[in-house]
Structure formats: structure tokens, C-alpha cells
Structure 1
Amino acid sequence: MDTSALTRNGRVRAERAARGSVTKGAAKAGFAARGVIYLLVGLLALQIAFGDSGHEADRRGALAEIAEKPFGSVLLWALGVGLVGMALWRLSEAVFGGVGEDGRSAKKRLAALGRCVFYAFVAYSVLAFAAGSGDGGGSSDEQSRDVTARVLELSGGRWIVGAAGVGIAVAGLWIGARAVMRKYHKHLRLGEMSPRVRRLVDVTGVGGGAARGLVFAAAGVFAVRAAVEYEPDQAKGFDDTLRSFAGTPAGPGLLVAVAAGLVLFGLFSFAMARWRKV
């Protein structure tokens, strides 16, 4: 018996399954779930910009907002399942490679694995919140301060926090730059879009990606500041980072623009659910 042929055939069948309709459905559900969360975070940030500061503009705030609505529990479970689907799709990319010429490269596989771990954590926090045994991952601001405080206590902690902050800031600039340059085009089935739909998708992709990148870049700068000043309270999560935009010389107008951009990113995620190559 040719065991190598059997192994090869098994690998081929597994790869086909990983690229099948179930995996595609999981990816679509994941993008849709991400879209709902960013849409709500953006809307909560808009409320803050216009004077309603009683809500947290982060994942926990979005989940709490959903929980208050009719059938909120059902929606929370659906979001959690969708995010599990996203994690599984990213896992399949890490194992079998993604679409595109460089989809099987070690760099792409490693990035997919990192995204898998991230979405697995987010899915767990959402499902725990839906089950009533969690707080949606906790406040992003409290998490940032607590983690920063622990790391600063380590030997070389200031360098670790500083390096992490620089990494987050650079990642934010990279996210924003790729959005502005429309790098997401290579991941979309553009031929299935009408010219009008393509223009609308570009508005959401560029505006949403730029806003998302700006938030990450700002959060990275605050982490660097926490390291330089040896002050954990200088680190900010998603909510505090958004609120900080209102304190700039541009005033609340900048927060409105960033919040609107996050709403656009939520809509862009829905477009990815529809036209993303999987």
C-alpha cells in the first residue's frame, strides 16, 4: 500500500474541505459579526462626541448595547458564533494557506495564525458575555492600564511597553496607509460589483480603514508615553483613545470624523462578507 499517496490524498481532501462552502460561510459570518461590532462602536463614539458620555465606545460597550435590545441574547450568540467562524477560517489559512500568489508563504500563514488567536479570544469573550459568565473581555481601558502596570514591574518592562507601543503605532499607520492605497482590492471580487457599488465600497474601505488605523496609531503613542513616563495610567484602551481625540485642537469634530470612519469600517466589513475572496 502506497502510504505516501494516501497521505497526499488525505491532505488534498482536507485542503478542499478547508476551502469549501462551510469555510466560506464561516468567513462571511465572521466579517458580518465584525461589522456589527465596529458599527456599534462607531455609533457609541458619535454619541460621546455629541455629549452623551455614559457609554463605553469599545467591544464591551457594543455588547452591552446589543444586550439591551429585543432578542439581544440571540444576537449576542449569533455574533459569538460568527466570530468563531472567523477564527476557524483564519486557522484554515494558517494550516493550508490563503488565496492569492503568496497565500501559502510563511509570512501569510503566521499572520493568519495571529488573527486566529485574536478572533478566538474575541469570540470567547462574546460567548461568555452572552452566557452571562463574562463581561465581554472587560473594559479596554482597564485592560490596557492593568497589563501596562504588570509589564512595567518586570525587568526591562519600560522597554517592552515602549516597543509594544511603537509596534501598535506602526501597525496603525500600516493599516491606514494600506486602506488609502486600496490594497484591499486584491482580496475582493471586483468583477462582481457595478461601478457605483465599487465606489461605495471604496468610500467605506478608505474612510473606515484610515479611521481604524488612526485609533491604533494613537493607542500606540499613548503606550509609548506610558513607558517613557513610567505611568501605567497613560496607557489607553479603545474607549479612552477615542475620547482623547475630542481633547485635541481640532476638538470634538475630530472625534466625530473618527467615529464616522468606524461606522464606515463596519459597513466595509459587510462588503467583505459579500465579496471577499475566500
Structure 2
Amino acid sequence: MDSSSLSREGKDLAETAREHPVLDAVARFGYVVLGLLHLLVGWLAIRIATGSGSGEASNSGALAQIAEAPGGRVVLWLAVAGLGALSLWRLLQVAAGPELKHRVKGAALGVVYLSLAATTATFARGASTSDGEKASDVTATVLNQPAGAIAVGIGGLVIIGVGLYSVYQGVSRKFVENLDRGAESGSVGTAIVVSGIIGYIARGVAFAVLGGLVVWAALTNDPEKAGGLDAALRYIGEQPFGMVLLIVVGVGLMMYGLFCLARARYADADS
């Protein structure tokens, strides 16, 4: 059997695994988990803006809230399963993706979801962690390497690029390509699109600010400035009219959460 035949067989196997009903169902539950996390992060951001909460407005802060609830650790283990399946679903796209951009996207998102699954497992085991501390530790480690400041700066620019692309997806409605055909029809479809537009823009703004803080850490050689999503949201809150801006971003993140919940139902298997 020649290499092209082996490659074709491997791609077919990856596509078959990716389309398996069990993996598809659990992966879609992963989108539910993402939706709930963004709803909680947005809610925590609003609480910080109004001075009624001091929790960390990040994935870790949201996971801590779930862990403290009755039966929360059981829920988190279910979340680990969903995020793990979503990661596998995306990583299989590397082999099965029809185009290079789909394979690159699958690899990047697969790693992101796998990392989030690992963080969720930490809280499910009864331990805890902080997105801000992890970001500072990683930044400090990289800064101590040769040309570390350049690497951190490039990383920050990449995060800014991700944020700007998210804003572009919201403004252009490009995210609709990730939904099944017909998902835009009717009042429900309109609500999904509106939540996607607002959600992608708000998420993009948060990531762009986060990337800016990472670049700032590189320029000042100070890893503490990198922080994490919580630091980015708090920075927004410290600006003129910061309370209003942070509430708007918080609501936007909650809208993105609602979009993720809808995507669990309407996600296009080829997206």
C-alpha cells in the first residue's frame, strides 16, 4: 500500500471517528460547558464592575464558583468529559480537515480545549488554580530565556490578533459559517445571530486588552503585568467610564455564552 493510500485511509478513519454519534453528542456538550463558563465569567465581570464581588473573572473563577456549589465537583467531572471530547473532536480535524485552514484551526482549538479540560479537572479534584498566576508564571519563565522578551511580545501580538479576528467575526457575521444551514431562520435564529455578533465582539475586546497586557509585560520585563483574563477585565474597569465599559463587556461575554449554548445544538460538523 503506497503512502497516498495510507494517508487517505487515515483521513477516512479520522472522519469516521469524528462523525461518530457518541463523540458528536459529548463534544456538543462541551459547547454547553463553554457557554456556562462564559455566562459565569460575564456575571463575575459585572459583579466586579458594580463592586458586589471580588472573585476572579476568568475560567478559573467560574470553575471555583461551580466547585463550591452542591454537587459541583460531579458537574465539573462531567465538564471534563465534554471538554475532552470537544478537544478530541477538534484534533481529529487535523487529519480529516478538507483544507489547511481547517486543520490549523482544529489543532489550535484542540489544544485550547484540552488545556481547559485539565484546568477543570484540577477543580474537580478539589484543588484550585488561578489563570492570572499561571499567566504570570509562564511569562516569567519565558522572559528568563534568551530573547524571551521578544517571544513574549510576539505571543502578546498573537493574542491581540485573535481578539481582533474575533471582533471581525462578530462584525462580519462570519461565525454563521460554523452553524448548520437554516440556523438563522425565525426568531430563534435571529436571537442566535444577535448573541453571536455581540458575544464575538465583546470576547475580542477582552482578548485584545489581554494581548496588550502581555506586550506591556514584554516591554517592561515584568511578568506580573501579563496577568490573565481577570487582569484584562479589571484593566477595562479602571479606565474612564470603566464601570460602564466593564458591564458592557460582561454582558457581551454572557451573550457569547448564550451563543455557545445555541452552537451545541446548531454546530456544523464541518466547522
TM-score, normalized by the shorter chain, greater than 0.5: yes
Partner residue in 1 for 2:201 = 210
Alignment of 1:1-278 (within 5 A): 12=12, 15-97=15-97, 104-132=98-126, 134-135=127-128, 138-278=129-269
The size of the alignment, in residue pairs, is 268
Query: Aligned equivalents of 2:90 and 2:222: distance in 1?
Result: 36
Deviations 1:200-235 (A, max 9, x none): 011210111111111110011111111112222221
Deviates more, 1:122-131 or 1:83-92: 122-131
Could you tell me which runs of 5 or more consecutive residues in structure 1 were left unpaired when the two chains were aligned: 98-103
- TM-score using structure 2 length: 0.92
Deviates more, 1:80-89 or 1:15-24: 15-24
| Percent of residue pairs bearing the same amino acid type | 38
Q: Is the 8 A contact 2:184 2:193 kept in 1?
A: no
For the residue of structure 2 that corresponds to 1:191, the secondary structure is: coil
- TM-score using structure 1 length: 0.89
Query: Aligned equivalents of 1:80 and 1:235: distance in 2?
Result: 27
Q: For the pair shown, which has the larger CA radius of gyration, 1 or 2? A: 1
Q: CA RMSD in A?
A: 2.1
- Residue 49 of structure 1 and its aligned partner are, at CA, apart by 0.9
Query: Aligned equivalents of 2:95 and 2:40: distance in 1?
Result: 32
Q: Which amino acid aligns with 2:150?
A: W
- Residue 84 of structure 1 and its aligned partner are, at CA, apart by 0.8
Query: Aligned equivalents of 1:227 and 1:74: distance in 2?
Result: 40
Could you tell me which runs of 5 or more consecutive residues in structure 2 were left unpaired when the two chains were aligned: none
Q: 1:20 to 1:159 in 2, by over 3 A?
A: same
Deviations 1:8-40 (A, max 9, x none): 668645533321312321321111111111111
Q: Which amino acid aligns with 1:149?
A: A
Query: Aligned equivalents of 2:93 and 2:196: distance in 1?
Result: 23
